[in-house]
Amino acid sequence: MSVSTWTSTRTIRITRGLLTLALVGLGMMIPRVGLPQAITGPMVNAMLIAIVETTGVGAAVLVGLSTPLSALGSGVLPLPMMVMIPFIGIGNALLSIVYGALKGRNRWLALVAGAVCKFAWLYGVTAWLVARPLAVAIGETQIAVQLPAALVGMMQWPQLLTALAGGVLAMGLFKVARIPAEQ
């Protein structure tokens, strides 16, 4: 490997690493603004799609796993929904992975498939947690964690809508930024 090739490769890796760190920071900041789910959700989902396009699936998964923690800290994710943090992170990862796997065929197909996978995962998990609540041990006492119906609703159909809205927002940004569609 020539010195110029090595230098170029190293520069690209450093730039990609710094971009990933910046996007993780942005991912943590969006929920902290404290906007309602109808605004925060599409913003986060748009960012996940954009990250897949710019730095790759791995970075998007990292950001997707971190955003629920920030949402909890800012109040977008109410405290009783703390039990949902790992499941939301997995839903974000599913959106990113499915989009990344299918975007080479068609971005719109990738978006719809990723959004449906995220929605189906969260819908199924919340239905399961309502039917079989998790128990938290406090001392020697087991307390079932009941999810309030209104909060369960946040994790079902709105997730499909916010994932699709975020994808449409990302596609609009791609058009403005002239990022070519991979068909």
Q: Is residue 61 a contact partner of residue 91, using CB atoms and an 8 Å limit?
A: no
pTM (two decimals): 0.82
The domain total for the chain is: 1
Residue 70 lies in a domain: yes
Q: Is residue 115 a contact partner of residue 160, using CB atoms and an 8 Å limit?
A: yes
- Identify which of 61, 60, 85, 63 has the alpha carbon closest to the alpha carbon of residue 72: 85
- The pLDDT profile of the chain, 183 residues, written as one tens digit per residue, is 566 666 777 777 777 778 777 777 777 777 777 777 788 889 999 999 999 988 889 989 988 998 888 877 777 677 777 888 899 999 999 999 999 999 999 999 999 999 999 999 999 999 998 888 888 788 888 888 788 888 788 888 999 999 999 999 999 988 887 766 553
Please give the torsion angle defined by the CA atoms of residues 81, 87, 88 and 93, in that order, rounded to the nearest 10 degrees.
Answer: 170
Structural domain including 144 reads 3-176
Residue 181 lies in a domain: no
